[in-house]
Amino acid sequence: MAKNNKKKKTQGQGQQFLSPESFIKERARTLPLGKCYINDDADEAGIMSIIVTRQHTGGRISMAGFLVDTLCLGVKDTFYHLRMEDYELEDYLSRYPVYFRECSYEEAHNRIYGAIAFAEEAGIEPHKDFRLTQYMLEEDNDDIPLIEYEYGKDGKHFLVCHSNLEASRYLPTLRKHLGDDFLYLINNQERDDELDEDDDYDDYDEEDDDDEPVYMADLVAELEPDDLHITACGLGIKLDLNASIKKQREQYVKGVLEKPKDVLMRLPSEDLMMLEDLAGESEKDRILIYPNTSADSLMYHYGLIEYDDEDEESCFYRITEDFWKAARPHLKEVMNEEANQARLTVEGLILGLVNLYGCVNIKDTKHYMAQLMELPEEAVAELFDIVLSHSALLPTILSSMTSDSEAIKADFDNSVSFVSRFRWESTDKLLEATAHRDDKIPARKEYTLEEVIMASSIIPIIPNAHKEDFTRYLCSQLGYDEDRANLICHHLWLRAQHEEDPDDTRGSYFEYFTKEVVSNAPKRPKLTGINEGMQALQAYMNGMPRWILKGHTPEDISR
């Protein structure tokens, strides 16, 4: 009997601790429907925010949210929060950036599924997370009374995008399923300036199609003369500075397209890997979505790719048609070439050192590299100089931070330099913050070769004894996946480098964590979970190497 009781207890515990995903799939539809909400301007806006709730026996509430585009795209986003208290839901709705009104479940259900069906006519599937949150809704069958609503504009699908690149994601699919029988608007400033209030959106035909390829000349035309000269030097292209700026731009584009292999041999590893990813895509697809870090792709600054933010987490890159056609045949050869591998190795080591120390100079960098590579300093210095003269990345990393050009020439090796892609607003403040700790921290912290290499990636993995505990909290308590957790760590690292006081627990990283990470988490933590998160955050930040501490952590200097 005792044995049977124990078995029943174990089974009960297994049911009690279902994962959130399993709970939604297996239990959500057994809970009674609660109140539903929709933004009060839904019919005018074309975008609907719909909230559907389920009532737990003990009084708590689970909810799912749906961002619905009724003009074309259907369910664009969806999320959920489980076991909320009444006051938590009220607070959540009050902070939402729309005004809600209560609606019937039947209205919510028909608006969501009606928009999905309309989008599917154009070949657009609902957001991937709808595969889970659909279980917060009732099944879409005849038990739900049918209510018909209007979708699109004048009976047609009407795509509204915020950028050319966003439009490029959808236009090929719409044309495949609808031909030319749809409307679209690219809602950027340039297009807005061309439109009158009474413009007919049908006027945008194939000639106005922003899905057309982009070419280098289009992007290079936007470069200022000084930027054009810098980029030309970075790619080893000679310009006639006595010629007109139009002629110089033409010389730049011609120089890139005539020697694409030479250009590839100068690009940093993350740009080359991006091109490798692109080589695996279809011929028509020119778009890649990458994490939105604080370091832009160098190809963007050199007029080789078009760039646009998608949101705070990711960004679009679209390569120019002419550069891709010229460069693609050489990509595999460049990636396998021994000289290029040596350059990428040196670049990676230097970038890792700068990410760990912030301020460096040429002389110290050569010394660090000799230690890491276990080579004579003379050999490293020779290798360094060769790589420096054939790299598009290193000049931007090791650009001098002083305007005194004569002083640079006089003592180039000792000129303090800083990674420009992660630059402080005021470099003088960075140097001052470092200098006033020199007595307490006379030497830079030593790192292993493996740590330096890890710190050189596009999202640097910075040594931190508390990272594992912190990322575990982000994944288990807040519901983030591993990639997103690493991106959060990256943003926290970057914010830490801009804090003049490493003991400041209310700095920009604290605000970022509370307002961005916790508030937008896939899972809503309990109060005890938030306290746990604050402790994990503080331990993580105390273990974070700081530029202003010469690579040491607040823990190091408090010992």
DSSP symbols for 463-479: --TTHHHHHHHHHHTT-
Closest CA to 62 of 71, 70, 73, 51: 51
pLDDT band at 113 (very low <50, low <70, confident <90, very high): very high
Which pLDDT belongs to residue 106?
A: 96
Share of the chain above pLDDT 70, in %: 78
Residue 282, pLDDT > 60, answer: no
Which pLDDT belongs to residue 64?
A: 94
Are 478 and 536 contacting, i.e. CB atoms less than 8 angstroms apart?
no
Share of the chain above pLDDT 90, in %: 25
Q: What is the pLDDT of residues 212-236, one digit of tens each?
A: 678 899 889 888 888 888 788 888 8
More confident residue, 477 or 188: 477
pLDDT band at 290 (very low <50, low <70, confident <90, very high): low
Which pLDDT belongs to residue 399?
A: 57
Which pLDDT belongs to residue 288?
A: 63
Phi, psi of 463 (to 5 degrees): -55, 130
Kindly tell me the burial class for residue 205, based on how many C-beta atoms sit within 10 Å of its own C-beta (0-12, 13-18, 19 or more). Answer: exposed
The mean pLDDT of 432-442, rounded to a whole number, is 74
Kindly tell me the burial class for residue 223, based on how many C-beta atoms sit within 10 Å of its own C-beta (0-12, 13-18, 19 or more). Answer: buried
Are 499 and 547 contacting, i.e. CB atoms less than 8 angstroms apart?
no
Neighbour tally for 314: CB within 10 Å: 12
